[in-house]
Structure 1
Amino acid sequence: MMNKHIFNYLILGGIALLLGACNDSESKLLEPKVYFESKEYNLSVEDDDVLTFDLTSRLSTMTSSQVDVSYTIADPSVVDEYNAKYGTVYEMFDASNVKMSSTTSAIPSGKLYADNVKMELSSLKTLKEGKSYVLPVRVQSASVPTLSGTSIAYFFLSKPIKITKVGKFSNTYISIKYPVGTYFSSFTYEALIYVNSFASNNTIMGTEGVMIFRIGDAPGVPKDVLEAAGTQNYHTTEALKTGRWYHVALTYDQPSGKTVIYVNGSKWAGSDWGLPGFDPNSDVGFNIGRIPKFPWGERPLNGKMSEVRVWSVARTENQLKQNMLGVDPASDGLVLYYKLDGSETQEGGVIKDATGRLNGTTSGVTIETLPTPIAIN
């Protein structure tokens, strides 16, 4: 009987402890916390040298007393962590070019939002075209905790690249001979393309019969659909349109076997391959825009191209989105890069790429000046 009573007391005690723990957890969930309502802001820098932003934070629930908050520029290590997490290459915006009307603010009792603080970003004209910068701003309070994951707001700044000169393609091609022994296990093909009209098979780039990135392969694949073809094949279901610019990319990550076709930075199709890799010099070799002297048709692209790149790594979705209009020619893993804006030297049927490491043979790329810069929508 004694043991039974002890057992009952233990059960009641356990229930009381559980109820107490639940109440503590509930109290922690309901306690007010300070945070940024939006943690990412994209600021496009055109011709202005100064931008002003209204900085504010908020509480998760109202309080009966005033809550004081403070703002600081986060340490550069925060940017390093962000880049490592998302596969990006943002540079820290120079904190000396940031001024706040005050580093503190207050959330009045019975209110949710702090009074605005003016944040001024200056010397924007010194930002390099095509480079991406980020300013991380942290909010804190001595009286209430911060909400995990939203105590830092990221202000992304970029000076858009304005591409107004591009390469015309109809019967034009560039053929590349990579160094002997080149072998791509993982890779990325990417380019800006504009199609005037679709033929049954339209070459973007690659090694025909081995690893080619193209539009259409009629009658099997519709003439306006992106396809990866060769020893492995798959294609998108959504069609491209004539008369508009696209950023297109094909990636393959050999360790995972994952391959993806991206359009304008978004996944349009994917597959799983068991491909160990390939030699881009094999078969008829690597070509851009057309496959010269190919016995089953030269398959030209009728349109325009810009920013043609080949990488020896699988670029991430974020990296593709961040660098559609330009990259540093010295970027790690960048093997081939044709800007096709007239900056590459063409002489005697040879065109040198922007990395300075490869020469391509060409039928002659005509550079066209656009009435307005390329826009990816």
Structure 2
Amino acid sequence: MNKHRFNYLVLGGMALLMSACNNSESDLLEPKLYFENREYVFSLEDESEVKSFDLSSRLSSMVSSQVDVSYVIADKSVLDEYNTQYGTAYEMFDASNVKLSSATSTIPSGKLYAENVQLELSNLETLEEGKTYALPVRVQSTSISTLPGTSIAYFILSKPLKITKVGTFNSNYISVKFPVGTYFSSFTYEALVYIDRFGDNNTIMGTEGKMILRIGDAGGGVTPRDILEVAGTQGYKVKEALQAKRWYHIALTYDQPLGKTAIYVNGAKWAGSDWGIPGFDPNSDVGFNIGKIPGFQWGERPLYGKMCELRVWSVARTENQLKQNVLGVDPKSEGLALYYKLNGTEVEEGGVIKDATGRINGTTNGIRIATLDTPVAIE
């Protein structure tokens, strides 16, 4: 190749590179339109039928002319993508119950923020307790481009369940016989638990000797009576003690493909471990029990207190899923293998109790349903 020609090519390449860099810097410095907050989360504690919110967008830097912006309710597909990305299961808020005081607004010259538009959500009394709804709102402008990933704001509304009836455990239990051949590879145990007093070993649920979630093993001289632990073919415990006279949401998860297990308390991870086990048969040994292990030769290990929202899953629930469904889940949820709500809705006859999924009957010595003075509250 001619040497001079090579030099020209190098110089030309450098010029193109510098031009690309300048264009990239120019793009970064160009004013962008965006929502300052991506999520607005609200809990509908009262009985209001209508809620109003101020909706506003902003620029990344001031411009010398007025900027016109507009707002539109995004398609459900946008929320579907959000749910997939974050492991949530929000339902689309009905757009027919949405009213904007104006679909447009302006950002005056030399200002950063658009003038407020009022967003009104109505018919809130029709929302179902225990479900979370989301409304995605998109901002756009014909004169200013939007900042990627920030052009949609999600208004997230939850209508919390109020649990006022729970099952009392005072040497009471539920024994479960899963269908023959049941084998849990990945799994999740969940329960709302209130301890009246700690015994030496307080059974929450599980298969003794295989995979059991309990509080303490003081009788065995292993674990203090107020420490949460999982025991069986594998085991570990948390470091922080539980307190009596207080409600907790407690969960144990095992993701078999990853070999990861974790204990969650009130949605926060308290402990975890790496396991290499393929899973377990819940019907093995003395079988699967809740509340105590009836007839067990080494002691029945009863829990003295209250429990409700007892769930067993054939999947490892995510941290987000646990946090968002503390007080209740849809009985038709995928992977939900067993569900005792213990709020008085289950039918109990002749020592048999039916679970909310309608699949498995449990054997019980009688679970009394108590009415609480105040609803279950997780701090």
Q: Please give the residue correspondences for 1:290-369 in structure 2 after superposition, counting only pairs within 5 Å.
A: 290-369=292-371
Q: Please give the residue correspondences for 1:1-377 in structure 2 after superposition, counting only pairs within 5 Å.
A: 7-45=6-44, 46-218=46-218, 219-377=221-379
Instruction: Tell me, in whole angstroms, the C-alpha distance in 2 between the residues paired with 1:5 and 1:110.
Output: 51
Q: Please, what is the CA RMSD of the aligned residues?
A: 1.6
Deviation by residue 1:174-228 (Cα, 9 ceiling, x = unmatched): 1111111111111110011111222232111000000101112233223222212
Kindly provide the amino acid, as one letter, of the partner of residue 369 in structure 2: I
Kindly provide the amino acid, as one letter, of the partner of residue 65 in structure 1: S
Bigger drift between 216-225 and 107-116 goes to: 216-225
Bigger drift between 230-239 and 27-36 goes to: 230-239
Instruction: Tell me, in whole angstroms, the C-alpha distance in 2 between the residues paired with 1:310 and 1:255.
Output: 19
Deviation by residue 1:222-247 (Cα, 9 ceiling, x = unmatched): 32222121111112222222221111
Tell me how far 1:262 sits from its aligned partner: 1.1
Q: How many residues align?
A: 376
Bigger drift between 186-195 and 12-21 goes to: 12-21
Tell me how far 1:327 sits from its aligned partner: 1.0
Bigger drift between 251-260 and 110-119 goes to: 251-260
- Tell me, what secondary structure is at the counterpart of 1:89? coil
Kindly provide the amino acid, as one letter, of the partner of residue 52 in structure 1: S
Instruction: Tell me, in whole angstroms, the C-alpha distance in 2 between the residues paired with 1:260 and 1:145.
Output: 43
TM-score relative to the length of structure 2: 0.95
Kindly provide the amino acid, as one letter, of the partner of residue 183 in structure 1: Y
Kindly provide the amino acid, as one letter, of the partner of residue 56 in structure 1: S
Deviation by residue 1:141-168 (Cα, 9 ceiling, x = unmatched): 1111111111111111121100011111
Instruction: Tell me, in whole angstroms, the C-alpha distance in 2 between the residues paired with 1:17 and 1:191.
Output: 63
Kindly provide the amino acid, as one letter, of the partner of residue 157 in structure 1: L
Instruction: Tell me, in whole angstroms, the C-alpha distance in 1 between the residues paired with 2:349 and 2:224.
Output: 37
Kindly provide the amino acid, as one letter, of the partner of residue 118 in structure 2: K
Instruction: Tell me, in whole angstroms, the C-alpha distance in 2 between the residues paired with 1:76 and 1:105.
Output: 24
Tell me how far 1:8 sits from its aligned partner: 4.8
TM-score relative to the length of structure 1: 0.96
Bigger drift between 210-219 and 47-56 goes to: 210-219
Tell me how far 1:4 sits from its aligned partner: 5.7
- Tell me, what secondary structure is at the counterpart of 1:199? coil
Tell me how far 1:280 sits from its aligned partner: 0.6
- Tell me, what secondary structure is at the counterpart of 1:128? coil
Deviation by residue 1:2-31 (Cα, 9 ceiling, x = unmatched): 966555554444443333222211111111
Deviation by residue 1:33-92 (Cα, 9 ceiling, x = unmatched): 111111111122230110000000111111111111110000011111112122222111
Instruction: Tell me, in whole angstroms, the C-alpha distance in 1 between the residues paired with 2:153 and 2:270.
Output: 30
Instruction: Tell me, in whole angstroms, the C-alpha distance in 2 between the residues paired with 1:12 and 1:217.
Output: 76
